Structures are given as C-alpha cells and as structure tokens.
Structure 1
Amino acid sequence: MYIANQEQFVAFVQRAMHSNVLAIDTEFMREKTYYAKLCLIQLATDDEVAIVDPFALDDLGALAPVLQNEQVMKLFHAGRQDLEIILREVGVLPKPLFDTQVAAALLGHTQQIGYAALVHAECGVTLKKIDSFTDWSRRPLSESQLEYAADDVVYLPRMYERMRGQLMKLNRLSWLDPDFEELSNPAKYAINERERYRRLKRVSQLSRRQLAAAREVASWRELEAQRRDVPRKWVMTDEQIVEACKREARSIDELFMVRGMSERLSTRDARAVVSLITSALDAPPDTWPEPDRCGKNEPNVDAQLDLMCALVRLRAKENGVAFPTLASHDDLARVARGYREDIDLLKGWRRALVGEELLALLEGKLSLSLDGMQLRVERRD
C-alpha cells in the first residue's frame, strides 16, 4: 500500500495499534545536508505493508501513538540512523523495540551483518538490491523502488519470531535489554558539539594545547553546519581543522596557509576561527582536554592483549557470539591498562561470559595453555 495523504496515514496507524509488531525502515539522503532528509518510511504490521511518502503528509507526529504503544513491538535492522530520524521528525522514540542486527550477533552471525545476508540466512530469500543507491527524493517512485523499499520491512516480523525463539531457547533474550534500552534513550542521539573534536581525523597528531584549539574550532564548525544545514566538510574539513591547530594559526594569513581554507571561509568566518584558536592556545593548561588515546607514558599491554584475545576468542566460539560483540578492542585495551569504570565488557552478560575471567587472568589467577590444538584455561591457586 502506498500512502500519500494524511487521512490514509492516520487510518494505517490506527490499525497498527492492534498489531503485535510494527517493522520500520526509512530511506533518506544527507549528501548535501547536515540533517538527514527523510524521503520514505516503510512500515509492516502482522498483515499489512505500507510505503509512506513523507513529502505528501502534513504531520508525521501521527505515528507517535503506535511508537509509544507498549503492546506493539517495533522492529528494526541496524536501526540507529532510522531512530535518529524518527526522533527528529516524529518527536518520540519507539519502545519497546528489537533490532535484528544487534540480536544476530548473539546467534553466531557477524557483528554487523547486513539485512540481505540475514534475510537469506533466516528466511532463505535472496533479495534484489538494484536500488541501493537510488535517489529517493525523486517522484514518482518506480515499481522497482517500491518493491525494494517494501522488502526492507516485509521480512522483519518473520525474522523477529525466529530469532526471538532461538534467543529464548538459549536463555539470552534478556541479554539484549540494555542494548535496546540504550537505543530507546533520547540522550543517545543528542549532539554535543563540544565533544566533536574527539572524532576528527588525525586528531592524535595534536598536543594537548593544540587539542584545546581543535575543540573550539570543531564546536564552531558543528554549530555552523547545523545553522546552514550543510555537511560539516562543506564548512571545513577535519584535516583543515587539525592542520590549522597544528600550525597554531593566530592570523587570517596563517589560517589561509592551510590548503583550501581560503576557498571555504569568508573573511568574517576566518576571523572567528582565528579568535577561537588564539583564545584556546592562550588558555591555562588546566583547561586543556585530555587525549582519548593512551599516552606514551602508559604501559605497553601487547602481551596482555594477546592472552586476553585468546580467552575471548575461546568463549565467543563456545557461546556462538561474534568476537567484537563480546569484547571490542578498545574495551580490552582499557581493561588491560587497569580501567574498570564504564566498560561494556565488565557489565551484564559480557562480564558473566568472559569479563570476570579476564580480570582473573590479569591478576594472575588464571593460566592459559595448549593441550594439543585446544586452549586450556585453568585456575591457579
């Protein structure tokens, strides 16, 4: 069903309120904007599939009641971007929800398995993907586009039932509760422009003093990109920010020595950026940010990481869980260096499967050895 007016949309939502599930996907474009431009919403209930044209609707907020209906399970695959768009366009986040990509990692699939691969594995269906890079903003949509869009939700209810059954059989369904709670938390999608500098490419090249300047410039760029609704790199690239701060540019002439900067910034904007860099460089050291990466004065933990990875790989294989889902490399490195707070590896089911053992290994209470081709884990007195 193709929905292109408000009355049809409201009627569908009312019917969906009585469904057990609501599968959701979106098609959007953001190549030329800061905020994603929502072009299509695909919805599937127990017995209906709807392709919703947001360009033809007056109020997407009509979707909110079913999103907040606790009796309807909302289904996604790799839904973080969809959820971000829904929060911005509808004003609420769905709850409860189930993400098949997140769940798949607890059933032996790779951590970021794609939708088509999971549909083939769980339903035995090979999807056509000829419209993956289509222009969803153009109208009218072709039949192949509509078919592609519908396929993105039509198999989600079937996969949900199969995967839910498998997880219940393994007593793992509750393991996903914290992950899904986080996806339903609006704070996850809040933009903190003051932290954007940490994600700059090559930011590790900067000293703490220069990092303070990068924090200010990246924050300015974020707000400017939002104001203009253009991609960040159209205001200034990551490389340009890092180079300008590495040069410690205190004048417009010095700033424009960075390749391409004079073409991107007006004189007024360049003056603002230079002022931010200068103020940050002259600020007292106790205001400089700490780098994310461990400094040179921290101990090398390569040997510990090798042993930890061997143990994680063993427990991941035994439990049919993707290695990166069980333990990320960053978490392993932080644990090896003595950190214990705010680490997923040391929380919930991950701690039960391998986290406690890793702590015991680092404390010398476990030993690893080879028994033929098998890794043996033994507790030491």
Structure 2
Amino acid sequence: MVLQRRPQGTRTDVEYIANQENLEAFVRRARSSAVLAVDTEFLREKTYYANLCLLQLATDTEVAVVDPFAIEDLSVLVPLMEDPTIVKLFHAAGQDLEIIYRELGVLPSPVFDTQVAAALLGHTQQIGYGPLVHSLCGVSLKKSDSFTDWSRRPLSDSQLDYAADDVIYLPKMYRVMRERLEAKGRLGWLDNDFAALSDPANYVCDVASRFKRLKRVGQLSRRQLSAAREVASWRELTAQARDLPRKWVLTDEQVVESCRREARTIDELFMVRGMREKLCTRDARAVVAALVRGLDAPPEQWPELDKSLKSEPNVDAELDLMEALVRLRARENDIAMQTLASHGELARVARGYRTDVDVLKGWRRAIIGEELLDLLAGKLALSLGPDGLVVTRTGE
C-alpha cells in the first residue's frame, strides 16, 4: 500500500509494507542506494526487552514503513545493515541500535547519527529530531502521535505519517550536515563516535555492575554493597528470563532496604514493605541466598562505589577554571560544551587521570585537552577583559 500523502518539500514515495514479498522487493531496490535512514517505534512498559512495533526505512527516493507483526522474516534486512557502501542514518541511535541488534543479530555499519553530528555544528548536545528538521529543512513536524500505542492494529493514517516523518528528512539532513562538517574540517572527528555505536560490547548488559544504578545505593556500607551486587544481579537475570521490567521483579527501594537490613531469612526479608506480595517462596529463597552470599563474601571482594565527582571538594576551584576555559573554546568553535568536555570528564582530569579520558583524546585534545593540562600546570592564566575571558600564557 502506497500512502497518498507527500511530505512538504520532498518527492519521496511512502509505502506501508505488511508482507514478506514487498519487504524483499524494497531491500532489492535499497541495495543501490548510498544511504538508508532507519528508525523504530517500540513499547517496553510491560517487558524487559523492547517490543518492536514498527520499523521505518528510507532512501533518497522512497520510505518503507514496515510492520514487523506481519513480516515472517526480518533477517532479509541484514545485507542492507551490513553493506559497507550504504551509510545508515539515525537520530539518537542508541535505543534503535539496541532493538535492531536483538531482532537481527547484527549492528548496522557504517553509521551516521545526526544528533551526535549536530553538536559539532553549534546545536545543543541532545537536540531533538523535530528541532533539527526545522533548522536544516525548514519543516515543522506534527507531534500528535508522539505518545501512541504502536502495538495496536490497524495503524491510523496519522500514525503512519508520523512514522514516515521520522526518517524521510534524514537523507537530506545527512548531506547538509556532511557538507558543513567537511567545510569545517570536522567530518573525521566523528569516526570514533560512530564506530562505537556499532560495537556490540555497548549493548551487552553487565549484570554484575547493575547495583551501581540502584536508587539510594549510596546509603549502603561496602558489606551491604556486596549483597546489593548479588541481589541486583539476580533481579536482572530474572527480569531477562521472564521478559518483565526489573521493577516488577523487585523495586530499587526493596533491593536497597533488604541489603540495609542485612536480611538472612525469609522472615527478615518479608519485613521489607511489599516483599511478601512481590515474591513467591522460591524467589524469596533465591533472594535470601543472594543476600547471604554477598554479606558473607570476604572484605577484599566487597565493591566500592565511584566517588561522586561533583562532591570532590579538593577540585572545586580547578573545575571552575576548567569549565570557564571549555565554555570559551566551545563558543569559539561552535561546539556544544558537553560534547567538548563533560563535567565528569573535567573532574577526572582535575583529579589526575590522564588515560581513558575522552577530552584528552583526538580532536578534543587538540581543541581543549592540551590547554586544560597547561592550565592545571600553571602555564595558563585566565582573566577578564572588556570582551570577556582572556587566556594568557605565563612565564612557565
């Protein structure tokens, strides 16, 4: 089915694909394209893994809105995703790539993320798709279906239009952004960022470190953290196996409170609010076993949380000066400040870290990294002049 609507300022055909034959035909046509725009619509409110509800694909000449519920085999898309001659275009690619990896078993490559690239062209670090389309294409997108149930069928015309909009402008945006990045000599700056998006390691859940993301985990002692690591790992694996949201298995608050109480029996565990209702006897035994395992681990195996970089009193002054310098260079180079150097990165440099710090690598080091090291070494001085911040070299 070809939709009658034509987006403003384009000559692109939009096709709703709900059978295997039409999808395979689209794949054959797309193999000759230099670009493939990709987006997904999904739901995950009631599941651990995202439930793919719609897949949008676009070349320069057509858009395919693919209904995965009606397709027998999505793996026919693998050759497109892996074709090194076709640049796969995304906006804020993270979740889309996670879903594609789970559905197809491969990660698209090469990739170009318009949100990542926009930060090198003067836009805010996490600019939304709609504002970027308006800025580069002069089109204001409708938001009527931004919060919709994509699992319901049939899909309305407005839903299909909304879905098509999410990819139809990406090829034009890519070429505009690529031209501007090349003019600034910055296109190669994104190589490592885009390569990382296609690295499978970024989409594998490390269950052993999940405890660090628990709410209020900082209230626990190191011994209790050892228990939290075990319980959070059990919760993660259980949620994956049952395909349930982790909070449906146990909430963060329940995990932390059971560890704070150092519960060693089911009766002690059920003293935590809601535990009795949440856990069956078998699960309760498993949680208690995890608690005991963590509490009885030798001290040398107890984990330690990373110290909060924001609360490091000994680097506050350094951070103030470093952020002032980064803000200046970001403005001069028309780059989002957080893209150039985040607060956390600056704090690590101030504390003496020199390896595995993005601001001390590649183009970031050239623009600001070396200056930050000189500033900390007393080789640079900052002052205020008539036009703002002034950077001068000291006598060294």
1:352 aligned residue: 366
Pairing 1:115–2:122 present: no
Q: Any residues of structure 2 matched to 1:103-142 within 5 Å, and which?
A: 103-142=117-156
5+ residue gaps, structure 1: none
What is the TM-score with the length of structure 2 in the denominator? 0.94
Give 1:360 deviation, angstroms. Answer: 1.2
Pairing 1:94–2:108 present: yes
1:375 aligned residue: 389
Instruction: Judge which range, 191-200 or 175-184, deviates more.
Output: 191-200
1:267 aligned residue: 281
Among 296, 321, 324, the residue aligned to 1:310: 324
Among 25, 39, 45, the residue aligned to 1:25: 39
5+ residue gaps, structure 2: 1-14
Report the RMSD for the aligned CA atoms in angstroms.
1.4
Give 1:26 deviation, angstroms. Answer: 0.4
Q: Any residues of structure 2 matched to 1:151-300 within 5 Å, and which?
A: 151-294=165-308, 300=314
What is the TM-score with the length of structure 1 in the denominator? 0.98
Structure 2 Cα separation of the partners of residues 253 and 298 of structure 1: 41
Deviations 1:292-338 (A, max 9, x none): 12599976211111011101100100001111111111111111111
> How many residues matched?
381
1:144 aligned residue: 158
| Matching residue's letter, 1:86 | I
Structure 2 Cα separation of the partners of residues 74 and 279 of structure 1: 46
**Identity, % of aligned pairs?**
70
8 A Cα contact 1:299 1:337, kept in partner: no
8 A Cα contact 2:309 2:347, kept in partner: no
8 A Cα contact 1:41 1:52, kept in partner: yes
Structure 2 Cα separation of the partners of residues 140 and 295 of structure 1: 50
8 A Cα contact 1:17 1:66, kept in partner: yes
Deviations 1:318-367 (A, max 9, x none): 00111111111111111111112211111111111111111111111111
| Matching residue's letter, 1:95 | S
| Matching residue's letter, 1:338 | G
Closer, same or farther: CA 195–309 of 1 in aligned 2, 3 Å: same
2:12 aligned residue: none
1:330 aligned residue: 344
Pairing 1:62–2:76 present: yes
8 A Cα contact 1:20 1:72, kept in partner: yes
Deviations 1:167-203 (A, max 9, x none): 0000000000000000011111011111111111111
2:18 aligned residue: 4
Pairing 1:43–2:57 present: yes
1:361 aligned residue: 375
| Matching residue's letter, 2:27 | V
Give 1:290 deviation, angstroms. Answer: 2.1
Structure 2 Cα separation of the partners of residues 171 and 296 of structure 1: 34
Structure 2 Cα separation of the partners of residues 286 and 303 of structure 1: 34
8 A Cα contact 2:60 2:171, kept in partner: yes
8 A Cα contact 2:120 2:334, kept in partner: yes
